[in-house]
């Protein structure tokens, strides 16, 4: 695994943990939600831009992304 891939996986797990706290859900529930709406793929594809943002901004970005997918 490349360093970049490891960084991206760490970033995605960071987002899952923070989103879990935001919506008061379990990790499994967040993973199911992220899978349903393609959030992991979005985070992976846009890592270069997204990982430089604040946690609060990321949580709002994930909310907006999910709303657009619904």
pLDDT for 31 equals 97
Structural domain spans, the chain = 3-69
Q: What is d(CA 47, CA 26) in angstroms, rounded to the nearest whole number?
A: 24
Among 48, 43, 37, which Cα is nearest to 13's?
43
pLDDT for 53 equals 94
pLDDT for 47 equals 96
pLDDT for 70 equals 87
Q: Is the pTM of this model over 0.85?
A: yes
What is the three-class DSSP state of 20? helix
pLDDT in tens, the chain (70 residues): 899 999 999 999 999 999 999 999 999 999 999 999 999 999 999 999 999 999 999 999 999 999 999 8
């Amino acid at each position: 695994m490349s360093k970049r891939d490891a960084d991206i996986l760490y970033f995605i797990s960071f987002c899952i943990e923070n989103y879990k706290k935001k919506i008061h859900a379990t990790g499994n529930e967040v993973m199911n939600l992220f899978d349903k709406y393609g959030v992991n793929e979005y985070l992976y594809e846009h890592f270069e831009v997204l990982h430089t943002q604040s946690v609060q901004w990321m949580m709002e970005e994930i909310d907006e992304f999910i709303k657009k997918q619904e």
